[in-house]
Structure 1
Amino acid sequence: MQDRGKDHWDTVYSEKSQSQLSWHQDDPTASVKLCTLAGITPATSVIDIGGGRSPLAAQLVDKGLKDITVLDISRVALEKAREAMGGNAARITWTVADITRWTPTRTYDIWHDRAVFHFLTVTADQEAYLARMKRALGSGGHAIIATFAPDGPETCSGLPVMRYSPDSLSERLGPGYTRLADRAIRHETPWGSAQSFQFSLFRRLA
């Protein structure tokens, strides 16, 4: 999770435990299944955008992946994630950056984003994100992007969000990507309320 307000997210992660974060999930099943559908192997490189306290990186390490980067605007979130992973934290590249300002220096096989893109409500920020995704994904690379669905919340953590269907997200990404799969997911918050997400898997065209 992230937004251009670094202080906002540092405060959120400093003041709230995992069980107080609406987006927390113990098992990132939907993400793992779409990674599998994209054909991950131990040689696959993955960047998790806004990975924060997500357990995805740990699960990918367990699957034998050796090239995993977690990027988040919140240094606090990444410090807590490193602590939680223990010795395996050294197997992850941890990057503190605002995705709309970050400069990729390499390419990845999979770009994963669970609930960052939907915080970008300004067109210029969306374009900045998409430019960086294009630069960071080689031809044939895969992007997994999860956002709130059309019937999902209109705000999260006190901030407005954009809501997408798989079709509207595909349109926003543009003709450089083809959608391979999508999933409607009902995420249950730690306190038992349901939130509608859509998860979409794209392949970057040559």
Structure 2
Amino acid sequence: MENTKKQHWETVFITKAENEVSWFQEQPQTSIQLIQACKVAKDAKIIDIGGGDSYLIDSLLDFGYTNLFLLDISEAAIKRAKLRLGEKAKHVTFVVSDSLHFHSDEKFDVWHDRASFHFFTEASDIEQYKNNVIANTNQNAHLIIGTFSEDGPLKCSGLPITQYSVDKMEAVFGQDFELENCFTEDHETPFNTVQNFIFCHYMKK
């Protein structure tokens, strides 16, 4: 299963241009604003989970954040991000890993995920993901998740996903994290379709 998943994402990033995927955003405004709202120091450890070749890292570097990590299951995605960042890439730590089996000696202050969480459809995987966040973050860490809402698509990149409401998010994270902010937002894809996302900002209890 693990290899099939990795293979799927390698193929996506090898065969499609950056603006040929539904999640493409030249300016990931919402994620940037939510990270800025955390009011963490510029050298706080921030990780983007399943970030692929997203432009979030570029924006965070422009805002002066200096301790950035980009995790993706696809080596091809990471290569693309490195290539685009050029010189700036040396300010980012790149991690090729599945977010479910990721374990780090670093503890993060901000865990951001607008990419991988909705792909977990098994209760055990969702639980493991949450435990991973807990294990890999500092006390008082911020958790920012953008995931498909109940008005969002049922599939992404040909794979089944899980849709979320505030209550469903709370059922997963509410015991260990304090909800700071939650809202839904339409994302316009490069194909002129609209996907509804729910964004939640949590503080670790």
Given the two structures, how large is their TM-score scaled by the length of structure 1?
0.95
For 1:45-194, what aligned pairs fall within 5 Å after superposition? 45-194=45-194
Instruction: Judge conservation of contact 1:4–1:98 (CA < 8 Å) in 2.
Output: no
Q: Secondary structure at the match of 1:5?
A: helix
Q: Offset at 1:192?
A: 0.8
Deviates more, 1:141-150 or 1:3-12: 3-12
Deviates more, 1:196-205 or 1:42-51: 42-51
Q: Secondary structure at the match of 1:180?
A: strand
The aligned residue for residue 7 of structure 1 is 7
Aligned-residue identity in percent: 35
Whole-Å separation in 2 of the counterparts to 1:92 and 1:37: 21
Q: Offset at 1:4?
A: 7.0
Q: Secondary structure at the match of 1:69?
A: strand
Q: Secondary structure at the match of 1:99?
A: coil
Whole-Å separation in 1 of the counterparts to 2:68 and 2:17: 24
Distance 1:105 1:53, change over 3 A: same
Whole-Å separation in 1 of the counterparts to 2:191 and 2:56: 21
Whole-Å separation in 2 of the counterparts to 1:115 and 1:52: 8
Gaps of 5+ in 2: none
1:53 is matched by which residue type in structure 2? D
C-alpha RMSD of matched pairs (Å) = 1.5
Alignment coverage as a number of residue pairs: 204
Given the two structures, how large is their TM-score scaled by the length of structure 2?
0.96
Q: Offset at 1:40?
A: 3.0
Is the aligned partner of 1:23 residue 2:27? no
Q: Secondary structure at the match of 1:196?
A: strand
Whole-Å separation in 2 of the counterparts to 1:166 and 1:36: 22
Q: Offset at 1:137?
A: 1.3
Residues 116-145 of structure 1: per-residue CA shift (max 9 Å, x gap): 111000122112211110011112110000
Instruction: Judge conservation of contact 2:52–2:72 (CA < 8 Å) in 1.
Output: yes
Whole-Å separation in 1 of the counterparts to 2:162 and 2:104: 25
Instruction: Judge conservation of contact 1:104–1:132 (CA < 8 Å) in 2.
Output: no
Gaps of 5+ in 1: none
1:157 is matched by which residue type in structure 2? S
Stretches (4+) displaced over 4 A:
none
Whole-Å separation in 1 of the counterparts to 2:133 and 2:147: 16
Q: Secondary structure at the match of 2:106?
A: coil
